[in-house]
Structure 1
Amino acid sequence: MTDDRPTGVDGDRLAVVVAKPRAQDVIDTLQEGGVYDADRSVTEHGEDAVAIPVTAPPETASYREVVRQVGEPRLRTLEDHLRERGWSDGEIDAAPGSWAVIGSVVLVEMGDAPRPGEVGDALLTMHGEADTVLARGGISSTHREPDVEVVAGEGDTRTVHREHGIEYGLDLSEVMFSPGNKAERARMGEIVDADDRVLDMFAGIGYFTLPMADAGAKVVAVEHNPTAFEFLLENAMRNGVTDRVQAYRADNRDVLEGGLDAFGDAPTVDRIVMGYYDATEPDGDGYAYLDPAIAALEPGGTMHVHEATPERLAFDRPIERIEDAADAQGRTVEVLDTRRVKGYSEGVAHVVVDARIE
């Protein structure tokens, strides 16, 4: 943190200067510290930095310098910006209600909004740390590939997203990234113990692997999508955790059938993360992923099972499936925690069950 802080200046005209790729992570820290000024815009500051408005010099965020920020107070909402562009009440009602800034990209579900390009331009005005706006569609195929369209800005879909001290390199046109899982990613880094042996099934670009490895856990990370796997390897290096991550580009079932030799003489693990929403689906007389996962779990180990569950079945369905798979192997289940992470689709919730398998 720099000590180069101007004095004698009204706090509501201050801004901290940070490198552009760090902008969203710093904004999150400033919001947590209660000093982010939402009434003013993030603005460019030179070629590689932005000035983030603050109400007072922050005590927790690192930055290059504190500067006086000039200019008019920003229009606070997307509605304000669209009205300035002449949108009617009916058109504004169809505008997006939420979006997320991922690195240098704004990711938004455009829905039935008219003139998506104008929405994109407004979002870029609101978020000076971003240079591209992507309209997000669905996720398709077994590789969970996103359907996105550039609607404004430079069109660069490759970025580095930073949150809770972890850097995620990714290409949002090729791999998925769920902003709604932010708290869950952070939580996984908080609950693991140093030297825990963890199996991260469906690891993606390292959503859960990276915070767990950063906390000291030893992680076997399995991902089948070749593009996501490349980012997984890159991100392990980017975060300095390659010595604690053993990555496999493979089907989880093949890795489990071959034995977890990455842990040497210990063929079982202390903790398993199943982050794929459909991994608990029954397969014939058993469960394609739950069965081998439970077999690989140390007695007393913990599973973190994600599922897209109809609201009326939450949390009964995932718990029943875990108990059924465990019972077939003569094991018992203690449910430790259940959480709704976010809405998945209409009437369907993304839920997580933490369970100890004895």
Structure 2
Amino acid sequence: MEPPKSRPKRKRPPPQNPIEVALKTWFDAAALTEPQRWDLDELISHAPKRWTVYEPMVLLPAGSFDTAIWKQLLPALSNDQVDLLWVQILSEISKRTRGARFTHLAVNEGIPAALRHSTPENLDRGEHEMGASPASENILRSPTGLRILHGDFGPAPAENTVPDFEHAFWVSTRQNGIFQTWAPRWTMFSRGNIKEKARLLDFHNGKDAGQRKSPEDTWAVDLYAGIGYFTFSYAKLGMRVLCWELNPWSVEGLRRGAKGNGWSVRVVKDEHDLSLPMEELVSGGERIIVFLEDNRRAAQRIKELNKLDISHINCGLLPTSDASWKDAWDMATRNKADEAWLHLHENVGVADIEKRKGDIEQYFLGLATHDNGDRTARVEHTELVKTFAPGVWHCVFDLYITRSSSIT
């Protein structure tokens, strides 16, 4: 007798997108009037499908709810109807997470390269220029494009005000086991840097690790620290870190993040502290020392310390960090040890990556010749971190600097 054939298992239907579920629920509950009753399927087709969570905030991708159909519908709704939509989206996304409850919703519209002059009208809309003149460069990387949909993100920004850290809205995440926090109305966060952070954490392992000494008991320098993107990777490796950052909100995020990871931190920011000798500033033994000032002071400050054992210098500004390269070279060549690594961040067209690598080597070899040839340099590796635009990569060039008699 043949055994009975087993019935094929039914495949579970894929879970519905929570934003789609939220729209359907909202559409039935919002008591839309006849002029407001757009086709539900069309609304769903023009709604975002993805999101990112930074507790307790949900961040939607650029362009969300900004297509023609939504631009026509949203102004026709009452404030209560619009708010019900945002609340429903937060509720459905919260259901898909384990125990998390999301309370704030915003759209990430990117970080502009330039800032417009502030007016009472655009400040009322939550835009922020931090004292900018018309079309001034956004050197602080202020997230002025953030479009707030729901939740209290803290006091509306205004020009030339003292940062109110305690009343701001803060979010957080973990990447590679490292805690980071920031105020999204004031500070950017680049999720795509996770790959480069992980690479730094593994830098002293792997096939090329033979020439890379242990990072413990050495220093790292981060010339564009932000909220601690790469500073924290160095700290986790056991290094002490000297770092520089111009944005006070980023410095506060770095301070809070360091504390959240259990690392001691000193913020050097007021006129008195900035005037103290470097020996005194580093004497407390803190894992991280961050200077709220222009990094053009960095090389001179490090020179005051006579010689440090510096393993890494991070030049992490896009689209190019070349304004800091000469200073980074000076720090590396005053190094107590025979070698150092410079991590040079650049946006480069895919067809130009090899040429840029050669240009970088020639630039630093020129500096070496000018310094009587005691040191030499070569790009050991080019890391393609992420695409920045079509055909353009965010690259990191690892420049290895050592005694000229040591390199082969």
The TM-score bracket by the shorter chain reads 0.5 to 0.7
Q: d(CA) in 2 for partners of 1:345 and 1:124?
A: 33
Of 75, 81, 84, the residue aligned with 2:16 is 75
Matches of residues 247-326 of structure 1 in structure 2 within 5 Å?
Answer: 247-261=290-304, 264-267=305-308, 269-281=310-322, 288-297=323-332, 298=335, 299-317=338-356, 319-326=357-364
RMSD: 3.0
Of 181, 191, 202, the residue aligned with 2:193 is 181
The gaps in structure 2 that reach 5 residues or longer are: 1-11, 28-37, 75-81, 113-137, 155-168, 205-214, 265-285, 369-374, 403-408
Q: 1:77 to 1:217 in 2, by over 3 A?
A: same
| C-alpha contact (below 8 Å) 2:18/2:92 kept by paired residues | no
1:334 and 2:369 matched: no
1:211 and 2:246 matched: no
- Aligned residue type for 2:343: H
1:351 and 2:395 matched: yes
Q: Which residue of structure 1 aligns with residue 250 of structure 2?
A: 228
Q: 1:127 to 1:163 in 2, by over 3 A?
A: farther
Q: d(CA) in 1 for partners of 2:346 and 2:325?
A: 12
Structure 1 SS opposite 2:255: helix
TM-score of the two chains, using structure 1 as the length reference: 0.68
Q: 1:177 to 1:87 in 2, by over 3 A?
A: farther
Q: Which residue of structure 2 aligns with residue 158 of structure 1?
A: 170
Q: d(CA) in 2 for partners of 1:350 and 1:95?
A: 29
Q: d(CA) in 1 for partners of 2:309 and 2:218?
A: 11
Percent identical among aligned pairs is 27
**Which of the two has greater helix per residue?**
2
**Which of the two has greater strand per residue?**
1
Deviations 1:267-322 (A, max 9, x none): 462211111113434xxxxxx211111221144311222222233323532x2442
Q: 1:106 to 1:87 in 2, by over 3 A?
A: farther
| C-alpha contact (below 8 Å) 1:200/1:273 kept by paired residues | yes
| C-alpha contact (below 8 Å) 1:260/1:268 kept by paired residues | no
Of residues 334-343 and 301-310 in structure 1, the stretch that sits farther from structure 2 once superposed is 334-343
Q: 1:347 to 1:236 in 2, by over 3 A?
A: same
Q: Which residue of structure 1 aligns with residue 62 of structure 2?
A: 110
Deviations 1:162-192 (A, max 9, x none): 2333221210110110111122223323325
| C-alpha contact (below 8 Å) 2:18/2:89 kept by paired residues | no
Q: Which residue of structure 1 aligns with residue 92 of structure 2?
A: 125
The gaps in structure 1 that reach 5 residues or longer are: 1-38, 41-72, 282-287
TM-score of the two chains, using structure 2 as the length reference: 0.60
Q: d(CA) in 2 for partners of 1:90 and 1:323?
A: 54
Q: 1:93 to 1:201 in 2, by over 3 A?
A: farther
- Aligned residue type for 2:251: F
| C-alpha contact (below 8 Å) 2:90/2:103 kept by paired residues | no
Q: d(CA) in 2 for partners of 1:104 and 1:315?
A: 42
Q: Which residue of structure 1 aligns with residue 30 of structure 2?
A: none
Q: Which residue of structure 1 aligns with residue 259 of structure 2?
A: 237
When Rg is computed on C-alpha atoms for both structures, the one with the higher figure is 2
Q: 1:93 to 1:312 in 2, by over 3 A?
A: farther
Structure 1 SS opposite 2:108: strand
Displacement of 1:326 in angstroms is 0.6
